[in-house]
């Protein structure tokens, strides 16, 4: 029997561990920080406690440079609510299976969260989106050929990315664009032909996370806000090849804007 053989029990165990270790009984919202978003939670509020994710049942060390491997409990400025900030994300390409990918989301639900903010770094399919542009996710296309939902549970995904929460984000920043996020398995980036395919099927953003987590969030009854940071034009959109250094650089440059955005949105949730 491994930790994730019973995903719901694993999520409850993780939530109990978090409550005991942070002294915060209930977390009202949760945030998952993707590439480029590592510093963005600092303005959300005061950090009450910080745990290495490896201490929490079911969580493993993040595999990606630029991702922060901690879980934080943050008291949200003003409201007195608490946010659970998941700095570590497991990607499907790590090979730990889809249960591991969505364990953080299920843990957030078990910890009491009613809303989940999923952030990521991704490739942009529109030329007008320079590296460093934040984009609200309006919908997704899941090209991973898998699902976090197990059994004959036909979860409805209409309005998966809450129109209400997107409106809240646009109140904060009316200039925000919206787009359809296409999740590929990775870890390689797309070929230019795959990027053209993603465009033709209705995609605006390409990445390696978020869609599976959003599905698990909906199954668990969470309201979802997805925000992508375009850290690079997707392959073939710009004439130069992609580099992970470029991704990290774009994230750092966009830091102040996306930090302020995230903090203001969370304060209104
Ligand atoms: I950061 O161009 C980042 N993540 N699939 N494609 C995919 N994932 C990404 C990309 C990208 N950039």
The pLDDT value given to residue 67:
54
Mean pLDDT of 137-149: 98
Per the CB < 8 A criterion, the answer to whether 120 and 35 are in contact is: yes
Ligand 1 neighbours (beta carbon < 6 A): 35, 121-123, 184, 186, 189-190, 206-208, 231-232, 234, 242, 247
In this structure, the residue with its CA closest to atom 11 of ligand 1 is 123
In this structure, the residue with its CA closest to atom 5 of ligand 1 is 207
Residues in the chain: 269
In this structure, the residue with its CA closest to atom 2 of ligand 1 is 123
Residue 2 CB neighbours (<10 A): 9
In this structure, the residue with its CA closest to atom 4 of ligand 1 is 122
C-alpha atoms less than 13 angstroms from C-alpha of 241 in its C-beta half-sphere: 4
Query: Considering the chain, what is the average pLDDT of its residues?
Result: 92
Name the nearest CA neighbour of 118 among 84, 95, 141.
Answer: 84
Give the tokens for residue 117: 């903010």
7-268 maps to which CATH number? 3.40.50.1580
For 66, phi then psi, to 5°, come to: 100, -10
Mean pLDDT of 69-76: 92
Pocket mutation for ligand 1, best pick of 185, 195, 206 (most atoms within 8 Å of C-beta)? 206
Per the CB < 8 A criterion, the answer to whether 129 and 230 are in contact is: yes
Ligand 1 atom having least distance to the Cα of 235: 2
Convert the pLDDT of each residue in 165-220 to its tens digit.
999 999 999 999 999 999 999 999 999 999 999 999 999 999 999 999 999 999 99
Over 70: is that where the pLDDT of 63 sits? no
Over 90: is that where the pLDDT of 36 sits? no
Residue 106 alpha carbon to ligand 1 centre in Å: 25
pLDDT tier at 230 (50, 70, 90 boundaries)?
A: very high
Ligand 1 atom having least distance to the Cα of 35: 1
| DSSP bridge partners of 51 | 71
Over 50: is that where the pLDDT of 140 sits? yes
Residue 206 alpha carbon to ligand 1 centre in Å: 6
Mean pLDDT of 36-59: 89
Give the tokens for residue 235: 């392959």
Over 50: is that where the pLDDT of 103 sits? yes
The pLDDT value given to residue 30:
98
pTM above 0.85, yes or no: yes
Run of H or E residues at 174: none
The pLDDT value given to residue 1:
47
Run of H or E residues at 256: helix 244-268
Q: Which residues are catalytic?
A: 190
């Amino acid at each position: 029997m491994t930790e994730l053989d019973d995903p719901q029990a694993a999520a409850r165990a993780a939530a109990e561990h978090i409550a005991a270790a942070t002294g915060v009984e209930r977390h009202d919202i949760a945030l998952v920080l993707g590439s480029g978003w590592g510093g963005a939670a600092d303005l959300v509020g005061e950090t009450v406690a910080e745990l290495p994710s490896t201490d929490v049942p079911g969580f493993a060390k993040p595999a990606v440079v630029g991702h922060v491997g901690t879980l934080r409990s943050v008291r949200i400025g003003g409201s007195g609510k608490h946010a659970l900030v998941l700095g570590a994300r497991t990607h499907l390409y790590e090979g730990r299976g889809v249960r591991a990918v969505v364990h953080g989301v299920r843990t957030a639900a078990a910890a009491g969260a009613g809303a989940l903010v999923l952030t990521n770094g991704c490739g942009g399919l529109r030329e007008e989106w320079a590296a460093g542009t934040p984009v609200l996710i309006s919908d997704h296309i899941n090209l991973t050929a898998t699902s976090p939902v197990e059994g004959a549970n036909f979860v409805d995904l209409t309005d998966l990315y809450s129109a209400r929460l997107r409106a809240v984000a646009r109140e904060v920043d009316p200039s925000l664009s919206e787009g359809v996020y296409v999740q590929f398995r990775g870890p390689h980036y797309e070929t230019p032909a795959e990027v053209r395919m993603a465009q033709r099927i209705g995609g605006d953003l390409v990445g390696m996370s978020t869609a599976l987590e959003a599905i698990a969030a909906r199954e668990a009854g969470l309201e979802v806000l997805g925000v992508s940071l375009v850290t690079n034009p997707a392959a073939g959109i710009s004439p130069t090849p992609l580099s992970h250094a470029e991704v990290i650089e774009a994230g750092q440059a966009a830091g102040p804007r996306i930090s302020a955005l995230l903090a203001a949105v969370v304060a209104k949730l």
